[in-house]
Amino acid sequence: MRIRPPATTLRGRLLLSFALVSVLAVAAATGVTTLQARDVVLRESQQAAVSGLRASVQAVGPDLRLPLDRAGLRLLVSQLGPSAGAESSSSQATYAASFGDELVAPSRGPSVPTSIRREARTATSTLVQRVRVDGSTYLAVAVPVVTRTDDSATGVVVYSMTSLRSQDTVLDGIVKASATAAVPVVVAAMILALLVSTGLLRPVRRLHAAVEEMSNGRLGIQVPAVDRGELGDLARSFNQMSRDLHDERETLRQMEAKARRFAADVSHELRTPLSAMTAVAGLLADEADLLPDDIAEAATLVAEETHHLTRLVEELIEISRFDAGTAVLRLDEINLSELVGRSLTARDWTARVDLDVPHELRISVDPRRIDVIVANLVGNAVRHAGEAATIRLSARATGADLVIDVVDDGPGIPSDVRPYIFDRFVKGDPARGGRSEGSGLGLSIARENAELHGGSLDLDEHHDGGTRFVLGLPDVVVVHDD
Whether residue 202 is contained in a domain is answered as no
Quick one: which of 461, 150, 450 has its CA closest to 322? 450
Whether residue 385 is contained in a domain is answered as yes
Q: Answer yes or no: do 268 and 155 share one domain.
A: no
CATH number at residue 291: 1.10.287
DSSP-assigned letters across all residues of 448-479: HHHHHTT-EEEE-TT--SSEEEEEEETT-B--
Q: Answer yes or no: do 156 and 258 share one domain.
A: no
CATH number at residue 373: 3.30.565.10
Q: Answer yes or no: do 458 and 363 share one domain.
A: yes
Q: Answer yes or no: do 344 and 412 share one domain.
A: yes
**Domain-terminating residue out of 172, 203, 220:** 172
**Domain-terminating residue out of 305, 323, 341:** 323
Domain that holds residue 385: 328-479
Cβ count within 10 A of residue 71:
9
Residue 444 Cα to chain centre, angstroms: 38
- Angle (CA) 335-336-337 rounded to 5° is 95
Q: Answer yes or no: do 28 and 146 share one domain.
A: yes
CATH number at residue 111: 3.30.450
Q: Answer yes or no: do 10 and 158 share one domain.
A: yes
**Domain-terminating residue out of 264, 288, 323:** 323
pLDDT tens track, the chain, 482 positions: 556 666 667 777 777 888 788 888 888 887 888 888 888 888 888 888 888 888 888 777 776 777 878 888 888 888 876 654 444 444 568 888 888 888 888 877 788 888 888 888 878 788 888 888 888 888 899 988 877 667 777 788 899 888 888 888 888 888 888 778 778 887 888 888 788 878 878 888 888 899 999 889 888 899 888 777 888 888 899 999 999 999 999 999 898 888 888 887 888 888 888 888 888 888 888 888 887 888 888 888 888 888 888 888 888 888 888 888 888 899 999 999 999 999 999 999 999 999 999 998 999 999 999 999 999 999 989 988 888 899 999 999 998 899 999 999 988 888 888 889 999 888 765 544 444 556 788 899 999 999 999 999 999 988 888 899 999 999 998 876 55
pLDDT at 433: 45
Whether residue 110 is contained in a domain is answered as yes
Q: What is the pTM of this model?
A: 0.52
pLDDT at 230: 83
* Buried/exposed code over 85-105 (b: 16+ C-beta within 10 A; e: otherwise): ebbebbebbbbbbbbeeebbb
Rounded-to-10 torsion of CA 346, 349, 354, 355: -10
Phi, psi of 211 (to 5 degrees): -65, -40
Structure confidence by residue, pLDDT tens digits, 362-413: 999 999 999 999 999 999 899 888 888 999 999 999 988 999 999 999 888 8
CA–CA gap between residue 292 and residue 125 (Å, rounded): 142
pLDDT at 436: 52
89 and 48 Cβ atoms separated by less than 8 Å: yes
CA–CA gap between residue 117 and residue 101 (Å, rounded): 9
pLDDT at 333: 93
Q: Answer yes or no: do 59 and 166 share one domain.
A: yes
Whether residue 225 is contained in a domain is answered as no
pLDDT at 4: 64
User: In 3-state terms, what secondary structure has residue 408?
Assistant: strand
Q: Answer yes or no: do 310 and 361 share one domain.
A: no
Q: Answer yes or no: do 301 and 314 share one domain.
A: yes
76 and 166 Cβ atoms separated by less than 8 Å: no
User: In 3-state terms, what secondary structure has residue 421?
Assistant: coil
Number of domains in the chain: 3
pLDDT at 87: 44
Whether residue 72 is contained in a domain is answered as yes
User: Contacts from 388-394 at CB under 8 Å and sequence distance 24+?
Assistant: 389/466, 390/354, 391/352, 391/353, 391/354, 392/353, 392/354, 392/355, 392/356, 393/340, 393/353, 393/354, 393/355, 393/356, 393/357, 394/355, 394/356, 394/357
pLDDT at 378: 94
Q: Answer yes or no: do 156 and 116 share one domain.
A: yes
Phi, psi of 467 (to 5 degrees): -135, 140
Q: Answer yes or no: do 112 and 75 share one domain.
A: yes
Cβ count within 10 A of residue 466:
19
- Angle (CA) 264-267-269 rounded to 5° is 110
* Cis amide prior to 430 (ω within 30 degrees): no
CA–CA gap between residue 15 and residue 188 (Å, rounded): 11
Whether residue 187 is contained in a domain is answered as no
Q: Answer yes or no: do 263 and 381 share one domain.
A: no
pLDDT at 10: 74
Indicate the DSSP class of residue 288.
G
